[in-house]
Amino acid sequence: MTFDTELVGKIGSMALIDKEDNMIDYTRVARISRELRPGYIWISSGATEIGRLDFLSRNGYELQGEAAKTDYSAQGQAILMQTYRQFVDPKYSLRQVLVEHQHFNDAEKCAHLKALLLRCREQNAIPVVNYNDAVSNEENRRMEIASLLHDPGRRVYECVDNDETASRIACLVRARFLVILTSTDGIYKDPDDASTLLPVITGKDAYELLEAIEEKKACCRGASREGANGAKAKLEYIKDAAAQGTTVFIANAKYSLSDVLSGKAPSTKIGVGIKPAN
pLDDT at 227: 42
Beta bridge partners of 271: 202
CATH of 5-272, one of 3.20.20.450, 3.40.1160.10, 3.30.465.10, 3.90.79.10: 3.40.1160.10
Domain residue spans of the chain? 5-272
Please name the residues in contact with 129: beta carbons below 8 A apart, sequence gap of 6 or more: 41, 42, 43, 44, 97, 98, 99, 165, 166, 169
- Given phi > 0 = left and psi -120 to 50 = alpha, else beta, which region is 7? beta
pLDDT at 70: 93
pLDDT at 152: 64
CA angle 38, 8, 191 (to 5 degrees): 145
pLDDT in tens, the chain (278 residues): 789 999 999 999 989 998 888 889 999 999 999 999 999 999 999 999 999 999 999 999 999 998 999 999 999 999 999 999 999 999 999 999 999 888 888 899 999 999 999 999 999 999 999 988 888 766 555 665 566 566 666 777 676 789 999 999 999 999 999 999 999 999 999 888 999 999 999 999 999 999 999 999 888 765 444 444 578 899 999 999 999 999 999 999 999 999 999 999 999 999 999 987 65
Q: What is the pTM of this model?
A: 0.90
